[in-house]
A and B are shown apart, each in its own frame.
Chain A
Amino acid sequence: QVQLVQSGGGVVQPGGSLRLSCAASGFDSINYGIHWVRQAPGKGLEWVAVSWYDGTNKSYTDSVKGRFTVSRDHAKNTVSLQMNSLRAEDTAVYYCARDLSSYAFEIWGQGTLVTVSS
């Protein structure tokens, strides 16, 4: 079964760090771009970051540049999002998603809640 299974998340204080993981099953993630999309409580979807299929090219939305880093572990078929210097406005459910020809998001993880609060 093709799916993405997420882990990580939780409550962290402002300025703290957290690491989210997204494990692919049923397909080889090296062949796909894997994105991170977040949704603040009661708000809409916001694209956050992408690791292109080759793992070398990455892009980020402006608000997380320099704080978030996306990486891949090909052996574990996993993509991770390292989040540093977290702010209250980073509080959201974070989803990983597999792209469709680089333009849309075809397969989604179940989502994981990140709460930044003192």
Chain B
Amino acid sequence: SYVLTQPPSVSVAPGKTARITCGENNIGTRSVHWYQQKSGRAPVLFIYYDTDRLAGIPERFSGSISGNTATLTITRVEAGDEADYYCQVWDSNSGLWVFGGGTKLTVL
């Protein structure tokens, strides 16, 4: 089965840049989507089709892909960005939707 690998946690100081990775072989052949989930809340789609921001999402959030890794970059990190972030793809081989394990972003 298709597995997306994310680091369990990332810590960053306010005002700095956070990078959350999502890796798997051939990820470049798929569209990657990113979600933010705050404690006790439903996930929110932030980035879709690798790089597109959903309406209303700050420009501080951006997505990219290089080689076998997709990256969610958050610039000028704020305390309110503290949340779990998940990457997700549709696996065309199995016809199923797959999530990464999630990354907890801590703002120091």
Contacts and interface: CB of A to CB of B under 8 A. Distances in A.
B97 A44 contact: no
Q: Helix, strand, loop or mixed for chain B's interface? A: strand
Contact of A104 (B48, B84, B96, B102): B48
Contacts of A110: 42
Interface residues of A, number: 20
A104 B99 contact: no
A77 interface: no
A45 B102 contact: yes
Interface residues of B, number: 24
Contacts of A111: 42
Contact of B31 (A47, A103, A108, A109): A103
Interface of B: 31, 33, 35, 37, 42-45, 48-49, 54, 84, 86, 88-90, 95-102
12 contacts: A37-B99, A44-B84, A44-B99, A44-B101, A102-B90, A103-B49, A103-B89, A104-B45, A104-B88, A105-B35, A105-B45, A110-B42
